[in-house]
Homo-oligomer: A and B are copies of this chain.
Amino acid sequence: MTDQNTDQPTEPGDDEDFTPRRELLRQIDEALDAGDAARLEALLEPMHGADIADIIERLTPAERRKFLELYSIEMDGEILSEIDEAIRDEVIEALPKEVLAEAVREMDSDDVVDLVEDMDEGEREEILSALDDADRMAVEQSLTYPEYSAGRLMQSEVVTAPEHWTVGEAIDFLRAEDWLPEQFYHVILVDPRRHPVGYVALGRLLSAKRSVRLKDITEDSFRTISAYADEGDVAYAFNQYHLISAPVVDNDDRLVGVITIDDAMSVLDEEHEEDILRLAGVGDESAITDSVMETLWQRLPWLMINLVTAVVASLVIAIFEGTIQKIVALAVLMPIVASMGGNAGTQTLTVAVRALATKSLTGSNVWRVVRREAIVGLLNGLAFAVVMGIVAWIWFDGVNLAAVIAIAMVVNLCVAALAGILIPLGLEKAGADPALASGTFVTTVTDVVGFFAFLGLASAVLV
């Protein structure tokens, strides 16, 4: 990648991964250590706000304080809107009031909403007072919609035209306006009551003759989004329909804003982050900038739940203490049955969670997928029953022991497959996030069933 300010040749196989070069980071460290504000400014001058935000995030809290002292007057709306939530308060507090006010004035209304939505009344008022009346009202309007809704995601800066206009009229209008948003991709046609009736891509506007009516060059793919729609569904729609921007309407179907694809892309990214972290039993707010204590508090509750379920599995083992004392080989082999069940269950679970997230697992194919997972579970069970039966037979020279572990393996892998698909489906049906806690549920089931099947059979057959 070459920036317009630089002149680096791009070569195949070049280590271009779009992250700031190590050399630059070293120079920034030096400037920080030397307290050299001018040097720091010069180093950061060619950089994109998003990269500057990343650098701020990677500093230690002490370095960050120093950075903000030296650089605070340069902080603008672009950098501020890119800063991770986890350290945003810290940054805002370090900024002089005038700098913060100026930065907020530069931001689009959706970025201001994102900035203030988690603040308390007092802080929020202070930030919003920097805006002029129209912008403040737009932000306050956005904040009336529920959290994680399209209404919070949209920006209120919209380019509209009456539906009866021609291309020439639209171009003259755009040339005369000086408040146009920085980025826009469509002109939205509205009727006299501000209901959106279609939109025209700027490319078509540019390539049509002045006399063409806007109505005749609207896009086929026109869709409006309710301000109350869930942001995850909005991201899905953008990805599914290759939307670039979409008008947002209120309950009366009146235009209230527009969502652009870059915001939808951020939501998609966040939703993935949540899924992957929740599947692993990590708080979905976790960030690489978190302190030791923040990290500890996110992880402890999940480990505590895991401890309880592990103790439940141990209680199952305890039932068969007598059997284990007689045949100690059971203690050696039992974790294998449990571990295989846990892994097979996690495989199914992950595929199910992912399919639910992408809406590819729905009413119309759910039973077919459950059936497939059950059959795969059975076949996996049979395969590993044979393998593990042979291993146990050779290892402990007992054909009965081999038969016991083989049967337990089939039982546990079938149960694992069913638990892996039915638990996330059940959570989804109950209105919960299928990624949340389902891993713990599934491994609890496979541990308990694994130990019970193996030790129970052993008690019945071998003792």
Q: Is the interface of A mostly helix, strand, loop or mixed?
A: helix
A418 within 8 A of B: no
- Least CB distance from A33 to B in Å reads 14
Output the residue of A276, A349, A365 with the most chain B CB within 10 A.
A276
A335 within 8 A of B: yes
Chain B residue, CB-CB nearest to A222: B4
Verify A244–B241 contact, CB threshold 8 A.
no
- Least CB distance from A136 to B in Å reads 24
Verify B223–A362 contact, CB threshold 8 A.
no
Task: Choose, from A68-76, A119-127, A224-232, the stretch at the interface.
Answer: A224-232
Count of chain copies: 2
- Produce 1/0 per residue, A189-220, CB < 8 A to B: 00000000110011101111100000000001
Chain B residue, CB-CB nearest to A57: B360
For A223, list chain B residues within 8 Å (CB): 1-4
Verify B183–A244 contact, CB threshold 8 A.
yes
Verify A292–B376 contact, CB threshold 8 A.
yes
Verify A261–B265 contact, CB threshold 8 A.
yes
Verify B350–A251 contact, CB threshold 8 A.
no
Chain B residue, CB-CB nearest to A356: B288
For A333, list chain B residues within 8 Å (CB): 314
A313 within 8 A of B: yes
Known: A54-B360, A272-B272. 7 other contacts (CB 8 A): A1-B224, A159-B203, A238-B265, A239-B266, A273-B354, A281-B343, A307-B387
Verify B224–A2 contact, CB threshold 8 A.
yes
Verify A265–B280 contact, CB threshold 8 A.
no
Contacting residues of chain A (325-341) with chain B, CB-CB under 8 angstroms = 325, 328-336, 338-340
- A selection of 22 A-B contacts at a CB cut-off of 8 Å is A1-B229, A2-B223, A11-B228, A12-B228, A12-B251, A18-B236, A22-B363, A58-B365, A174-B207, A175-B208, A180-B207, A181-B203, A185-B202, A275-B276, A282-B351, A286-B351, A296-B376, A296-B380, A300-B380, A314-B333, A321-B329, A325-B328
- A205 with B207, Cβ < 8 A, contacts A273-B354, A351-B288 known: no
